[in-house]
Amino acid sequence: MEKESFVKNGELRLPPGFRFHPTDEELVVQYLKRKVFSCPLPALIIPELDAYKSDPWDLPGDYKRERYFFTTREAKYLNGNRHKRATGSGYWKGIGADKPIVAARSNQVVGMKKILAFYGGKPPKGTRTDWIMHEYRLSDAAGSRSCVFPQRKNSTQNFMMQTEDWVLCRIFTKKRSTGNELEIIETCNKSNAKNFGVARNNRIDFMIQQTKSSVSPSSSSSSSSNVSSITELTVESQDEENTS
């Protein structure tokens, strides 16, 4: 029975209530490795697309969410390890070292993850954007072992021919706070705190003035007489206690 495809016109469309949040290991073992060996996938959920030739905002799907694509890499030079990642408006550039993907059960490296950022313009004077790509590929160590999905003869040889071509890409946007933005936020917070303190002091002064203006001379004299009478009563009670 043929599996139902959840990809419509290159866009992922899942039924209501379903989400696709795979781990790095699941992407490499359950999807990329099966794709390399032409084995059945768990679900027809990741489309095939040349993700390196299109700007990230032009790729199909909801750009506000993570998007996944199977794509092939094209060598930039005949005798080299660099690949073409230039688009119409910019290029993808690797940042940091590649991260190994280790299987939880076997504790073996099953793949590698390269992190790339999208730069607008032409290298080397491009401007970095908020677009990020996680590029997954099978590791060389995984290729030297026998295929866990023995669907074809000479599967290891078939793997060695395809491992440098097929990759799986996860593309999303990541908001970054620059030093200037943090400085502006801190300045605004201090300004708000200062304004709050001034407003509070002004309110207290206003309440004190209102209280003073509401007290008349007659009421102040009566209050002073009441205080003196209370003092006299207190003194008399203390004298009585001393004589007793």
The model's pLDDT over 61-90, given as tens digits with 9 standing for 90+, comes to 888 889 999 999 887 766 667 788 999 999
What's the mean pLDDT in 159-184?
67
| CA 174 to the chain's CA centroid | 5
Residue with more model confidence, 186 or 19 = 19
Residues 6 or more apart whose CB falls under 8 angstroms from that of 20 comprise 12, 14, 45, 68
Whether the CB-CB separation of 56 and 171 falls below 8 Å is answered with yes
Residue given tokens 């993570």 in the structure block: 66
Say which range, 21-25, 201-205, 217-221, has the weakest mean pLDDT: 217-221
**pLDDT above 90: percentage of residues in the chain:** 40
Whether the CB-CB separation of 45 and 54 falls below 8 Å is answered with no
